[in-house]
Amino acid sequence: MLTLWRNCDVYAPAHLGLRDILIEGDKVAAMGENLGLWLNAPEITVRDLEGAIVCPGLIDQHVHVTGGGGEQGPASRTPELKLTDFTLNGVTSVVGLLGTDGVSRSLENLLFKVRALEEEGLSTWMLTGNYRVPTKTLTGDVQRDICLIDKIIGVKVAIADHRSSAVTGQELARLATEARLGGMISGKPGLVVLHMGTSEDRMAAIFWALKHSDVPAKHFLPTHCCRSPELIAEGVELTKMGGTIDFTAELPDNVPGTAAALCSALRMGADPAYVTMSSDGGGSQPAFNEAGECIGLCSATSVTLLQELRRMIWREGLDLQTALRFFTENPARLIGQTGRKGTVAVGADADLLVLSEKYEVRHVMARGRVAVWDGKALMKGYFET
């Protein structure tokens, strides 16, 4: 089946200008200034986008797809996310993970949920583990999980947080070695995603592991790096070593917004290629008092991604092609999908997002299927009305 989108203002994310895009099945088959020769092809669907912005579908690489929360008891657990929670917000690729609760939330459930979302139209991956050390796994250890389970590309752990297992640098080095080796054997990234809390230890365990082991910095991905100026500064140093830092869109209590925090990292010398932004969608975002007691709870969604993109452009002065990299090209590299995801290019998956002049979702294509048109969901999950 062929689809031809004409007169697209393409951000790949680099700005290419007006192009026609030919989609065959789930791939971008051709792209050029004029593909009018294809207009008479049999069974082709043609859409004239009249100069609208077309960019890669967003990659949300930190999502609690089975729900998170629980810090205030069973009733505070957040619900599972649905297909349209992503597509209506321009997201076509998702990495699922667990958080604080590794008791009522299981890796088995997470694996089935990411597979379900893929059946419904997204591209999905997941992490083994949760906040805890020793690390919870499906097969008995981290390396085997990464090697033997198709969806698993790395491991999750929490550091510098009162809800963590007080992970030492030595423990983190050992965990990272396992993830790296699993990635080498299976051809996957072997990521170590680190929930960053507010402890003054900050990234001390990461820097210890880098100094006392042979694990390259590229395997470490600390997230929630917008919690404090000090944490941002340490994150900048990590990017200079080859690591990537992730900012959570609109983290609570961050009044200027995550866009301001991310741009402050760029001004401090962070390499833009080693910076990403994710939503923490489905996860709880608790507020704690000085005694460490939870005094409030809300749930994140992927809607914050484009919200922060707009802030980066309108408030911080970034151009669109630079801002898009943090949601597309950069996370694609991290999850081992360079050239397939996070780009508009011949041979790439047909994950396409059409934005309005105000950078709002107009249309979404996920793996060659129209998921959203004129802001309305055309693809829905099994239990969505």
In terms of domains, do 47 and 63 share one?
A: no
Residue 13, domain member (yes or no): yes
In terms of domains, do 256 and 324 share one?
A: yes
Residue of 246, 280, 349, 351 marked catalytic: 280
Structural tokens at position 227: 């919690």
Residue 383, domain member (yes or no): no
In terms of domains, do 49 and 71 share one?
A: no
The residue type of 311 is R
Residue-range definition of the domain harbouring residue 347: 2-55+342-377
In terms of domains, do 256 and 370 share one?
A: no
Contact 284, 71 (CB under 8 A): yes
- The Cα 181–Cα 186 span in angstroms is 9
- The Cα 135–Cα 265 span in angstroms is 31
In terms of domains, do 206 and 261 share one?
A: yes
In terms of domains, do 218 and 99 share one?
A: yes
In terms of domains, do 362 and 298 share one?
A: no
Contact 55, 12 (CB under 8 A): yes
In terms of domains, do 40 and 12 share one?
A: yes
- The Cα 133–Cα 170 span in angstroms is 12
Could you give the number of structural domains in the chain? 2
- The Cα 157–Cα 275 span in angstroms is 19
- The Cα 30–Cα 21 span in angstroms is 6
Which pLDDT does position 251 carry in this prediction? Answer: 64
Is 9 one of the annotated active-site residues of the chain?
no
In terms of domains, do 38 and 137 share one?
A: no
293-297, Cβ contacts within 8 angstroms, sequence gap of 24 or more = 294/71, 294/72, 297/69, 297/71, 297/72, 297/76
Q: Is 45 exposed, middle or buried (0-12, 13-18, 19+ CB in 10 A)?
A: exposed
| Bridge-based pairing state of the strands 2-11 and 53-56 | parallel
In terms of domains, do 145 and 26 share one?
A: no
Average pLDDT (144-165) is: 96
Beta strand segments in the chain, E: 2-11, 15-24, 27-32, 44-48, 53-56, 58-63, 91-96, 123-129, 152-159, 191-196, 220-223, 245-248, 275-278, 287-288, 294-296, 352-355, 361-366, 369-373, 376-377
In terms of domains, do 32 and 62 share one?
A: no
**Binning pLDDT at 50, 70 and 90, where does residue 291 land?**
confident
pLDDT per residue over 82-123, tens digit each?
999 999 999 999 999 999 888 999 999 999 999 999 999 999
In terms of domains, do 310 and 247 share one?
A: yes
Residue 311, domain member (yes or no): yes
Inform me whether the pLDDT recorded for 124 exceeds 60: yes
pLDDT per residue over 231-280, tens digit each?
999 999 999 999 999 999 986 555 568 999 999 999 999 999 999 999 99
